[in-house]
Amino acid sequence: MKYERLFDGRRLPVVGLGTWTVGGGLSKDYSRDKQSIDIIKRALEIGYTHIDTAEMYGSGHTEELVGKAIAGFNRKDLFITSKVWSSNLRYKDVLRACCNSMERMKIDYMDLYLIHWPNPGIPMKDTFLALNELIEKKHAKYVGVSNFSVEQMSEAANLSTTPLVTNQVEYNVSYREPERNGVLEYCQQHNTLLTAYKPLGRGASLSNPLIIRIAERYGVTPAQVAINWLVRQPKVIAIPMSLNEKHLKDNLQAADLEISKEDLDSLDNLKE
């Protein structure tokens, strides 16, 4: 497995486990709880250590399922990321939201806590007053942002007492907005991870003829090619989601593929 190093030297695998839609989308869905818990457990057994979730996922139910799945595993071996929703960015709301997320997951600290979306209606200084307190009180080890522009990242970095660990944004071989808007370059220049969500473009990358041809050439899946293209870039990690054990294994192994520079260059030049 390939790793990226955080500012303090801690290693984070470039492929983590996303959990969006596990336990529901914007509302709770209990219909697949056992399957969801079992597959997250299986992911940990396979070798995943980074799990990404959010208070908004399943209206909190996703975090409950994550908590049940990680019970019995060594907490120190896991890296748990969650996110505070944009309506909860006032000082007291951030502290309350983080406490609620930890309670749902039955953990006593968050490895990484992110602002899920910026909210222009709430001063960012109020949010970081709370995030800095979470760090000081060791309720969170690291903080970061999600869906932030370069300008917003710069403001956040100035307000944070510790370096921002990541900006989590939509990025995949079929969607290159972070390249155009400068977020990728900013992250790479400031030792900040770009965490790519929707790394398979909701399946769009899997049907691309070029990606399919490259996958066939190496005897791998299109998903593995698409993930490899992402994480071979400096400071880029990905959090694909799957409830399929084979796909979980394939995604985890994607970082270790050896794809030629010629093929990677052709993916670099792929038009959206």
For residue 77, pLDDT beyond 90: yes
Q: Is 271 within 8 Å of 174 (Cβ atoms)?
A: no
Average pLDDT score over residue span 51-68: 98
57 flagged as catalytic? yes
- Domain borders along the chain are 11-268
Provide CB contacts within 8 A for 184, sequence distance 6+. 171, 178, 194, 233, 236
Q: Is 192 within 8 Å of 167 (Cβ atoms)?
A: yes
Q: Which listed residue (3, 30, 48, 57) is catalytic?
A: 57
Q: What is the pTM of this model?
A: 0.97
For residue 271, pLDDT beyond 80: no
Of the candidate CATH numbers 3.40.50.300, 3.30.499.10, 3.30.70.260, 3.20.20.100, the domain formed by 11-268 belongs to 3.20.20.100
- So what's the pLDDT on residue 203? 82
**Token pair belonging to 69:** 């799945």
Q: What is the pLDDT of residues 246-265, one digit of tens each?
A: 999 999 999 999 999 999 99
Q: What is the pLDDT of residues 186-198, one digit of tens each?
A: 999 999 999 999 9
Q: Which of 2, 77, 52 is nearest to 235 (CA)?
A: 2
Rounded percentage of the chain residues whose pLDDT exceeds 70: 100
Q: Residue 76: how many CB atoms within 10 A of its CB?
A: 6
